[in-house]
């Protein structure tokens, strides 16, 4: 049995679920950002697979994946800068200890 579109889509769903679990269950903010990157990758796999099997000559999904990568790069740079800034002032990267706004 050769590889079909459904193989890639199910793989994307599994990867997204792994990233979802990591993003909601980790305490370290850097680990949460890494899990979010896994979710971005899952979405990219889905986009490129649909582009390959549904619109092979238009490349719509591939162009969208490039924009996803652009936003992911900006998010990683800014998110890690914010984490380092918080570490500097609060000496922690655990999200449950960042409770400055808690009443």
Partner 1 sequence: MPDGLTIAFWVMAAITVIAAVGVVSVRNLFHAALFLVLSFAGVAGLFVTLEADFLAAVQVLIYAGAIAILTIFAIMLTREASQGNPANRIAGPVLLLAVLFAVGIAFILLSAQWPLSKELPLPETTTAIADALINRYVLAFEVAGVLLLVAMMGAFVMGKE
Site for partner 1 in 11-70 (CB under 8 A): 11, 13-22, 24-28, 30-31, 33-35, 37-38, 41, 44-45, 48-49, 51-60, 62-63, 65-67, 69-70
Specify the residue, 56 or 103, whose C-beta has the smaller distance to partner 1: 56
User: Do 42 and 36 contact (CB within 8 A), yes or no?
Assistant: no
User: Do 39 and 20 contact (CB within 8 A), yes or no?
Assistant: yes
Two tokens at 13?
Answer: 């769903």
Q: Which of residues 71-100 bind partner 1 (CB under 8 A)?
A: 71-78, 80-85, 87-88, 92-94, 96
User: Do 93 and 87 contact (CB within 8 A), yes or no?
Assistant: yes
Residue 68 CB, shortest distance to partner 1, in Å, is 10
């Amino acid at each position: 049995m050769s590889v079909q579109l459904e193989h890639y889509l199910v793989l994307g769903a599994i990867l997204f679920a792994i990233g979802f679990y990591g993003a909601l269950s980790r305490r370290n903010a850097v680990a949460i950002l890494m899990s979010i990157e896994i979710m971005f990758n899952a979405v990219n796999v889905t986009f490129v697979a649909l582009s390959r099997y549904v619109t092979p000559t238009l490349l719509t999904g591939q162009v969208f994946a490039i924009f996803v990568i652009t936003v992911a790069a900006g998010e990683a740079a800014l998110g890690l800068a914010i984490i380092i800034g918080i570490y500097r002032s609060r000496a922690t990267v655990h999200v449950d200890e960042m409770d400055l706004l808690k009443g």
